[in-house]
Structure 1
């Protein structure tokens, strides 16, 4: 796939940002029905190449678009996202629509309730166009599953989209509408967004409710729901809509609704710490180069850069994450026996087996170490306002692979070792976003991760908006031809 600048032609409406769509509705230049038809056509083309859709909801979307068109025509649009299309990751419930979650044993499961985020979206007039691909239970950082097959990257169909919100990120990157809902347990919003060259935001743990529909409740203490979008302004708008307190989610935070400032500005007075490797990670040289260039851009925008400010123990993956994450995965499917799991990926069955072998003591000891990691970030944010890292240590690898086990000649864990910057942030519950910051020699996107203190999504969005203005990425799009 080639890197191209946008040109006029088919599916132009589907490529517009949410803010541009709303302005177009307001001015009467086009209608929600015209947009939805364009988005459906774009989804069909992209799905044929990249495999991003699990269950289409096109007829429901058309009916909702007709209602929105009538409302806009009468000057009475309903909601802040009236007539704006959005896709929903298949781990998140939409009432009356199958929620397979990548699991063969869920083939007949149809929830009768909407997830809280879907309720919020529909209340603000957003139109759900489809459920997007994910791996089973979100257990890995690609979107491949026995249910939907391999999801591919619109920048190069021989490469993975990343995951587990891979269908969501690939669809947004390919211009199939401006907004998507993803989930992130160990990087599942940020990794595919980085691989596909879009914006992905993991909010503070508990800011966006997961109840009543998130199946199964894997990564129980790790998983966040959040936005994927093409622009920072769209990501901010989507987060404003879905962030809410919901007593059905025990982790939900009683935080008042907020509006975020995303007008690009200089970063004078902001102290940004950087870490290219967390003191132990192996990073592809081209990712390193892109990260260093991005750090220079932040400095040119007025930020005070504090280099090499975050260093952690190299055994965090084995001693903290896996005992927690794998145990929570196993607990989420405790009622599934070997027969129910027989059609699952071998790698998934391996994760479940390992999770069942950890003891309660292993889990609690890892939780103590997790508290120590959280304390390290508390100390860090006493010295800097925000932290930036590469989002992923590599660019998109071969489609269908679990991961890579070699980076720059060094051996890494194939499941999670090539994404050393994402899962530590899940362990702490901190907010983090990825934004595009460059391309490798093959034309594959590279992401920059921005991390801020708890509940300071506003700072992340301020930094991202400034970077977006200085290094605009919307002008670049993958070509599916």
Structure 2
């Protein structure tokens, strides 16, 4: 994997323990090379430095994290530590509840809200022994694909703080990219795990809709029929391990699927016999030149891994954004604040108020008609997966743009919707409820990461992991680190 300048040399990795993968941390514990307190101290140092440069943390939980690390350290010394993530630091996006910790959800309306219950995903992580270090930034109610909000301001990209981190799980992705612990929990309603993961050069997974329960703490309930919860990591193995822990049936979530627990194989093996459809633009999307070039190189890598790659796609309606997504997504966003008045929303962003206003103007008929079109899109994917085992696309049509902006209005000379038009590959997958992941596949001419999206049939996360593991072995992206991690965060605990 090379950047836009053609460089192939890998920069050195940060030396802080927070930059290790979860599997590396667990191996270190088994060897007694370091303790959970060592790891958590390094991770907190990295979070503090990253927050100063990128504004990625909403609510620090550092005192709690250190106390928990001390407890797990004692258990390890006594041979009593349990759980597949015992002593591993994790961050939680601020849309997801952690009992006793503020959940602002990027909204001034939530400035005094403190939930008294953990989200199901948080309960599962705590039961696994993971240590929560902080809540990370999001935009207001997760309504857009950056992590800027009236509560926290602008979240920036560790590869270039002048650029956006993407969002709405922007703080989560920026933290993982900068070596602030191996695992972050994000949410994804129209691309909010995959967009920031692509912009920040890390692995992000949106599982099948309903595989990971959202209740009882996911607030506000925006993108109600679209939102997924999933992991952001630097390695495929860490994402698979996390999904094994957080997936599970929870009857408190009406969309939760009663699927038995699964183990995922992330050993890299040839892709012989795997049929992959590839579409650079889904037949209608504007895509930047650098993204197209990186995507074509990624297809060649998959072919070299043994996959049978053909140019194919679902054949979606070019008007799917205006006629299908917006009537559903904007109506659900408006419904999330249905009881709020104009005065309540006065401190919200103007763009957020515009989305809510648009949602309130769609009729029930508009919503149901869009739902019919949504079913047609789902059927298009059903037919596609009769021909191929997986679909690959670019993750985002552009790389990270200027921090503080909602998006871009033009790509390769073509006008696009500045809110959602520059991410045409993510939200169709939410409409279909399919599993999808993004993994780094190159860099643009400015050295900013570019993502490859892998989409598989419903509940076929194993195919995503198989393809991603083969690509990871062929193009080991985790060896690339942003300069922020190297210059400000890559430090030993002794130097911290």
Q: TM-score if structure 1 supplies the norm length?
A: 0.98
- Report whether the alignment pairs 1:451 with 2:460: no
CA contact (8 A) 1:280 1:311 kept: no
* Larger relative contact order, structure 1 or 2 (CA cutoff 8 Å, min sep 6): 2
Aligned counterparts of 1:389 and 1:362: Cα–Cα separation in 2: 29
> Structure 1 residue 313: deviation in Å?
1.3
Q: After TM superposition, list the pairs within 5 Å mapping 1:180-199 onto structure 2.
A: 180-199=184-203
2:177 to 173, 176, 183: 173
> C-alpha deviations, 1:175-221, integer Å up to 9, x for none?
00000000000000000000000000000000000000000000000
Structure 1 regions of 5+ residues with no counterpart? none
**Superposed, which structure 2 residues align to 1:42-81 within 5 Å?**
42-81=46-85
Once the two structures are superposed, residues 305-360 of structure 1 have per-residue CA deviations (whole angstroms, 9 ceiling, x without a partner) of 11133322110000000000000000001011111100000000000000000000
Give the counterpart of 1:334 among 327, 332, 338: 338
1:474 alignment partner, SS class:
helix
Spell out the pairing of 1:208-287 with structure 2 (5 A cutoff).
208-287=212-291
* Distance across 1 between alignment mates of 2:408 and 2:55: 22
After superposition, the C-alpha distances for 1:55-84 in whole angstroms (9 at most, x for unaligned) are 000000001101111111122222000000
C-alpha contact 1:276 1:308 (8 A) present in aligned 2: no
The Cα of 1:7 is off from its aligned counterpart by 3.7
1:387 Cα deviation after fit: 0.2
- Structure 2: distance between partners of 1:299 and 1:196: 26
Shift, 1:137, TM fit:
0.5
The CA distance in 2 between the partners of 1:472 and 1:5, in whole Å, is: 10
Cross-structure match for 1:149:
153
Does residue 19 (structure 1) correspond to residue 23 (structure 2)? The answer is yes
What's the counterpart of residue 444 of structure 2? 440
RMSD (CA atoms): 1.1
Q: CA deviation at 1:5?
A: 4.4
Secondary structure of 2:343 counterpart:
helix
Q: Is the 8 A contact 1:199 1:433 kept in 2?
A: yes
1:131 to 106, 130, 135: 135
Unaligned runs of 5+ in 2: 488-496
Aligned to 1:325: 329
Deviates more, 1:426-435 or 1:334-343: 334-343
Contact 2:315 2:380 in 1 (8 A): no
SS at 2:118 equivalent? coil
1:206 equivalent in structure 2:
210
How many residue pairs get aligned? The number is 479
Q: Distance in 2 between matches of 1:404 and 1:50?
A: 21
Q: Any runs of at least 4 consecutive aligned residues in structure 1 with deviations exceeding 2 A, and if so which?
A: 2-9, 308-311
Q: 2:371: which partner in 1? A: 367
Summarize the Cα distance change of 1:385–1:84 in structure 2 as closer, same or farther, 3 Å threshold: same
User: What is the alpha-carbon distance in structure 2 between the residues aligned to residue 454 and residue 211 of structure 1?
Assistant: 21
